[in-house]
Structure 1
Amino acid sequence: MKLLHIDSSVLGPHSVSRQVSAAIVARLRQATPSLDIQYRDLTQTPLAHLSGSHLAAAQGAPAPAELAPDLAASQAVLEEFLAADIVVIGAPMYNFTIPSQLKAWIDRILVAGKTFKYDANGPQGLSGGKRVIVAISRGGYYGADTPAASLEHLESYLRGVFGFIGITSPEFISADGIQVGPEHREKALASALQAATGLRAA
């Protein structure tokens, strides 16, 4: 069984989402020692954002030579995702949504004919057999009953993205309010780490 671990926070060891995603992976490794784990840090090896040349190449047009390394990276990212049975993602909220590094990764895995297709009934997801677990960190509180609920475009976006490709029940572990104050941060992190240890086995 293959597990793909993705981190996208720019904060390195100070990142809450990285700590929680690592705890999730540790829990799954403990339960299934034979897990084949692949790790990708989107801040250490960032993907370029899509350009007109990327889209033209995807349609079969000749690609500029300077684009070749990034096209190869795109293919590698897609193959990693397709091969994974479990995907664990560290996703902090930046300005109400996902980091741009994570968006660049998503742009490489939402590929027609690979992770979704269109037919007479509309879009059909092709990745429904995967388990996706997302470690979220948010500076404030964005629950449905909070004043900032309308600004929550992190979890809602990821649910939409993964639902589009057939993953209808992604799992989320959230650490909220981490910028409210040190006590809030400590409590949120402890709660998220505890939730990670309680995950069902792979």
Structure 2
Amino acid sequence: MATRILLVTSSILGEHGQSNALANHLRERAAGRDELAITHRDLAVDSLPHLGLEELSSWQVAADERSAEQQVLAQRSDDLIDELQAHDVLVLAVPMYNFGIPSQLKAWFDRVMRAGTTFRYTEQGPVGLVKGKRAVILAARGGQYAGTENDTQTPHLKAMLGMIGITDVSTIYAEGLAMGDGLRNAALKEARQAIDSLVERL
């Protein structure tokens, strides 16, 4: 059976986004392999609204007791969680915006991180309910932040993934992309090579 990959992109720059370029490189490398199947969700094209109280409240109502409006609101989260659960590997192609993740990606996490569905609270702390999956972060950044206190993005992503049970997380960085052509080209080359190795191992 094919390894199912859910590729989530969130760059607002479209074809000019470097995180999208990394995602496209992965798609191209995986295209000729029958044992890999990729589903692509572009959160910049099919954007989600910010999570509001009415949508959040719809999750607290039993499915057979929801109003028509609540059913529509809850279905948005249900569909995203079902999609995540149906795949083996989650790949997040993530640009850095103001030291954080795009709001489009945050809106996705706000709907897949759902108490009682993808994690639950216990006396020993939260327990993730999304089992048997791994995640890969393709991180594209204008500056160089990995391993520094300014890289608040990587811990944030790992914390959210860990909360729902995905603790096998690796990161491929392409950094310094706005720091001159030499550094940019070298970083992208190294990232593409790392993606090639990743695809071979999947």
Name the structure 2 match of 1:169: 168
Equivalent residue runs for 1:9-158 within 5 Å: 9-30=11-32, 32-60=33-61, 65=69, 69-144=72-147, 149-158=148-157
* Cα deviation, residue 28, structure 1: 4.4
Give me the TM-score of the superposition, normalised by structure 1. Answer: 0.88
> What is the aligned residue count?
196
Give the match's secondary structure for 1:157: helix
Structure 2 residue runs without a partner (length 5+): none
Spell out, residue by residue over 1:25-51, the C-alpha distance to the aligned partner (whole angstroms, 9 max, x if none). Answer: 444455x51333211100110011111
Q: Which has the higher contact order (CA 8 A, sep 6+)?
A: 1
* Cα deviation, residue 21, structure 1: 2.0
Is the Cα contact below 8 Å between 1:91 and 1:137 reproduced in 2?
A: yes
* Cα deviation, residue 79, structure 1: 0.9
Once residues 119 and 94 of structure 2 are traced to their aligned partners in structure 1, the CA distance between those partners, rounded to angstroms, is 23
Give the match's secondary structure for 2:161: helix
Give the match's secondary structure for 1:151: coil
Structure 1 residue runs without a partner (length 5+): none
Tell me which stretches of 4 or more aligned residues in structure 1 moved more than 4 Å: 61-64, 67-70
C-alpha RMSD over aligned residues: 2.0
Over 3 Å counting, the alpha-carbon distance change for 1:70 and 1:188 in structure 2 is: farther
